[in-house]
Chains A and B, each alone.
Chain A
Amino acid sequence: EVLLLESGGGLVQPGGSLRLSCAASGFTFSSYAMSWVRQAPGKGLEWVSVISGGGGTTYYADSVKGRFTSSRDNSKTTLFLQMNSLRVEDTAVYYCAKVIRSNNYYGLDVWGQGTTVTVSS
């Protein structure tokens, strides 16, 4: 069974940092790009970032560029999202997700259950 399990969410003050993890199992992790998507309270889904299967290529939403960094450890089949300079508007449920095709970044076919990040003083 293909599974994704996020962890690392919590309460952090504005300007603080947090590192999310996403443990993957049930598929050849290194063959697929992985994405982060978030949903703020009462809002819709927002794409955050994607990282290629090998980890050498990353893309970010304008709203997080320069503050968030996506990385992966293929030996441990784990995806990470380092979030710095957090803002109140970063408060959201963060999902990690796997792309459906190994050769592009689009169509997220497996999602974790999400981890909640709350940025508040």
Chain B
Amino acid sequence: QSALTQPASVSGSPGQSITISCTGTSSDVGGYNYVSWYQHHPGKAPKLMIYEVSNRPSGVPDRFSGSKSGYTASLTISGLQAEDEADYYCSSHSSSSTLVVFGGGTKLTVL
């Protein structure tokens, strides 16, 4: 069981917007602004899409945005494109014995 809770799957049509949630506790998501989001196409290296809740690394389209409210962080993808179909993982700093925790991952399907 992963420390952070994500929906197993989400889907959307091209051009639409979707949001993936990532729920933790006061020991991780709720207590710190060190939430990251990764895109992972099977067989390839994961790619950082968002760091520190809402910052986009250079080269990541502004269609990708991050936010946080309470114990839940969210990744929103607007103007969905076929190439966005992938697995998405959130991670956070944790004050528990494990410094960094990941969510279980969300499979995004572009219909």
Q: Would A106 and B57 count as touching, CB distance under 8 A? A: no
The digit string for A92-121, where 1 denotes a CB below 8 A from any CB of B, is 000101001100111111011110000000
B97 contacts A62, C-beta separation under 8 Å: yes
Is A46 in the interface zone, CB < 8 Å from B? yes
Is the Cβ of B105 less than 8 Å from the Cβ of A108?
no
CB of A56 closer than 8 Å to a CB of B: no
Interface centre among B45, B47, B55, B57 (most CB of A within 10 A): B45
Other-chain contact of A47, B40, B51, B87, B101 (Cβ < 8 Å) = B101
Provide the residues of chain B in CB contact with A113, threshold 8 Å: 44-45
State whether A45 touches B38 (Cβ < 8 A): yes
Q: Give bound CA distance, A95 to B97, whole Å.
A: 21
Decide if B45 touches A112 in the complex (CB within 8 Å): yes
Q: Which residues of the partner chain A approach B52 to less than 8 Å between Cβ atoms?
A: 106-107
Contacts of A111 on B, CB cut-off 8 Å?
45-47
Say whether B57 contacts A114, CB under 8 Å: no
Q: Cβ of B100 < 8 Å from any Cβ of A?
A: yes
Is A105 within 8 A of B100, CB to CB?
yes
Interface residue count on the A side (C-beta < 8 Å): 26
Cβ contact within 8 Å between B98 and A62: yes
Minimum CB–CB distance from A1 to chain B (whole Å) comes to 13
In the complex, residue of chain B having the shortest beta-carbon distance to the beta carbon of A49: B99
Interface string of A55-98 (1 = CB under 8 A from B): 00001111001000000000000000000000000000001010
Q: Out of B34, B40, B99, which one reaches A45, CB within 8 Å?
A: B40
Q: Which of chain B's residues 70-111 have a Cβ closer than 8 Å to chain A?
A: 87, 89, 91, 93, 97-105
The answer to whether the Cβ of A20 comes within 8 Å of any Cβ in the partner chain is no
Tell me whether A26 is interfacial, beta carbon within 8 Å. no
> Contacts of A65 on B, CB cut-off 8 Å?
97
B36 beta carbon closer than 8 Å to chain A: yes
Inter-chain contact A95/B48, CB cutoff 8 Å: no
In the complex, residue of chain B having the shortest beta-carbon distance to the beta carbon of A104? B34
- Report B's interface with A, CB cutoff 8 A: 2, 34, 36, 38, 40, 44-48, 51-52, 55, 57, 87, 89, 91, 93, 97-105
Q: Which 9 A-B pairs have the closest CB atoms?
A: A107-B51, A111-B45, A44-B105, A59-B99, A47-B100, A106-B34, A109-B48, A107-B36, A45-B102
